[in-house]
Amino acid sequence: MKDQNQEIANIGKFSDPAMTAKGETRARVALEWLETLWFNTGTLCNITCVNCYIDSSPTNDALTYMTAAEVESYLDELDTLGMRPREIGFTGGEPFMNPEMPAMMRVALARGYEVLVLTNAMRPMQRPAVLSAIEELNAAFPGRLTLRISLDHFTAAHHDAMRGKGSFATTLAGMDWLRDHGIAMTVAARSLWHETEAETRAGFAALSADRGYDIDPDHPAKTVIFPEMDITVEVPEITTACWGILGKSPSEIMCASQRMVVKRKGAAPSVVACTLLPYEAEFDLGPTLAGAMGEVALNHPHCAKFCVLGGASCSA
């Protein structure tokens, strides 16, 4: 249904990686440096959220579990290439569904990288063995582990509308544990409630103050407010002229500084251009990092809505 609605909303658009529907040259973004290398740990999740961009759920294993050995092989390739990103990121699905998540974190931390894990902080993270592993890793590698908590809104009503009744309280319980054990946290929220950014940040400021969370509500990488990614909404295509018109630089776009490794069901790991587009063949850059360093055509509605016009980035 999503694909059909996209075709209706954006008829004639996003079909040619070189040219827009109006015959203008499509914008392309080159990888200028590797700030963050992401690993998708698998699309399985303990909950099913409304409008999940990657369709994660308790039954979706389209992206299967990544292993610590596979993570290590890509870190070895980084060494061979002489590349050193600032950060290794893990996303899902829910990363703590993957039984090798603690081992993957350790592999990256042991190499001296900062590690960012995107989690809903719910039951998979709250298992005693996982909590023990997080506490141990934080102590062994101080200052280098951060968990970004998916907290769609600062109220239970709005958050639960997206993630299910009771999910807000369960997530806060996980955040309370992280607070009490000195684990660095940030939050990722959504912008679909017609609030101003100032109102959203004020709401998160009040929540953090009330619960004693050390999360800066005004820092864009500490309280991340993601634009909505409704693929059924009409969006403009991004041309080379847009950079000057919008006063933006290709360097600001996610694919200028990030890549993600995924493992599709029945296939070997592969590198994709964008964390938002793990399924689209056009954005698959092959099995190696060395082969994934080229330009990316901004040939998808997410490129326009989320990155160029929304100004969002998945990295810290």
Per-residue pLDDT of the chain (316 residues; tens, 9 = 90+): 344 444 445 678 999 999 999 999 999 999 999 999 999 999 999 999 998 889 999 999 999 999 999 999 999 999 999 999 999 999 999 999 999 999 999 999 999 999 999 999 999 999 999 999 999 999 999 999 999 999 999 999 999 999 999 999 999 999 999 999 999 999 999 988 889 999 999 999 999 999 999 999 999 999 999 887 666 678 889 999 999 999 999 999 999 999 999 999 999 999 999 999 999 999 999 999 999 999 999 999 889 888 898 765 555 5
Domain boundaries of the chain, sorted by first residue: 33-231+255-295
Q: Determine the length of the chain.
A: 316
pLDDT of residue 191: 87
pLDDT of residue 1: 34
What does pTM read for this prediction? 0.93
Residue 252 φ then ψ, to 5° = -80, -15
Q: Is 52 exposed, middle or buried (0-12, 13-18, 19+ CB in 10 A)?
A: middle
How many other CB atoms are found less than 10 A from the CB of residue 192?
17
The DSSP result for 13-57, as a single string, is: -S--SSB-TTSPBBPEE-----SEEEEE--SB-SS--TT-TT--B
CATH 3.40.50.150 is the classification of domain 33-231+255-295: no
pLDDT of residue 2: 45
Q: Is 117 exposed, middle or buried (0-12, 13-18, 19+ CB in 10 A)?
A: buried
Q: Is 25 exposed, middle or buried (0-12, 13-18, 19+ CB in 10 A)?
A: exposed
